[in-house]
């Protein structure tokens, strides 16, 4: 049996909202490889640096949390020129949480002055301690 892993996926809040509505995760502009790193029963937290894809409106919040539903990574044809890969996710009811008051507490952010740096690749694995901190705040009303 595998150990549960914890992931942060970076996406604009508008894209996260669509993913939650559809029960799916996409990462890194639809690439399959990042999603293949996840396994069934891993947890995913979405971080949204922006409100809207392609715009500069800041969000800087953790915007969704869920659990990987199965082992399937599959292509989904959105348009003639775009066929991203997806994973099925069971999203949990949660509240958004600002990253700003958490920066000094999160171990996956080694340089607190350049706190956005870990998000540059679009997906990252975090430790259980960081996951527990973020998820406890996001799921606060559900406890």
Q: Report CA Rg, the chain.
A: 14
The model's pTM: 0.92
CATH number at residue 74: 3.10.590.10
Number of domains in the chain: 1
Whole-number pLDDT of residue 47: 98
Give the residues across from 67 on adjacent strands: 43, 90
Asked, for residue 106, whether it belongs to a domain, the answer is yes
- State which residues form the domain around 19: 6-142
Backbone angles phi, psi at 83, to 5 degrees: -135, 80
Residue-wise pLDDT tens digits, 2-26: 799 999 999 999 999 999 999 999 9
Instruction: Tell me if 1 is assigned to some domain.
Output: no
Please give the pLDDT value at position 143. 47
Which residue in this structure is represented by tokens 């066929």? 83
> pLDDT (tens digit, 9 = 90+) per residue, 73-90?
998 998 899 998 999 999
In tens, the pLDDT along 48-80 reads: 999 998 888 999 999 999 999 999 999 899 889
Q: State residue 142's pLDDT score.
A: 56
Q: What is the pLDDT averaged over residues 37-54?
A: 94
Question: How many whole angstroms separate alpha carbon 113 and alpha carbon 111?
Answer: 6
pLDDT digits (tens, 9 = 90+) for 114-135: 999 999 999 999 999 999 999 9
pLDDT of residue 89: 97
């Amino acid at each position: 049996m595998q150990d549960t892993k914890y992931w942060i996926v970076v996406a604009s809040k508008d894209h996260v909202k669509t993913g939650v509505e559809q029960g799916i995760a996409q990462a890194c502009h639809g690439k399959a490889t990042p999603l293949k790193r996840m396994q069934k029963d891993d947890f995913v937290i979405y971080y949204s640096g922006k409100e809207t894809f392609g715009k500069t409106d800041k969000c800087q919040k953790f915007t969704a949390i869920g659990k990987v539903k199965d082992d399937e990574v599959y292509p989904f044809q959105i348009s003639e020129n775009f066929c991203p890969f997806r994973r099925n996710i069971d999203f949990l009811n949660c509240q958004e949480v600002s990253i700003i008051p958490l920066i000094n507490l999160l171990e996956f952010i080694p340089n607190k002055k350049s706190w956005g740096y870990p998000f540059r690749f679009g997906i990252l694995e975090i430790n259980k301690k960081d996951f527990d901190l973020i998820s406890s705040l996001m799921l606060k009303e559900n406890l």
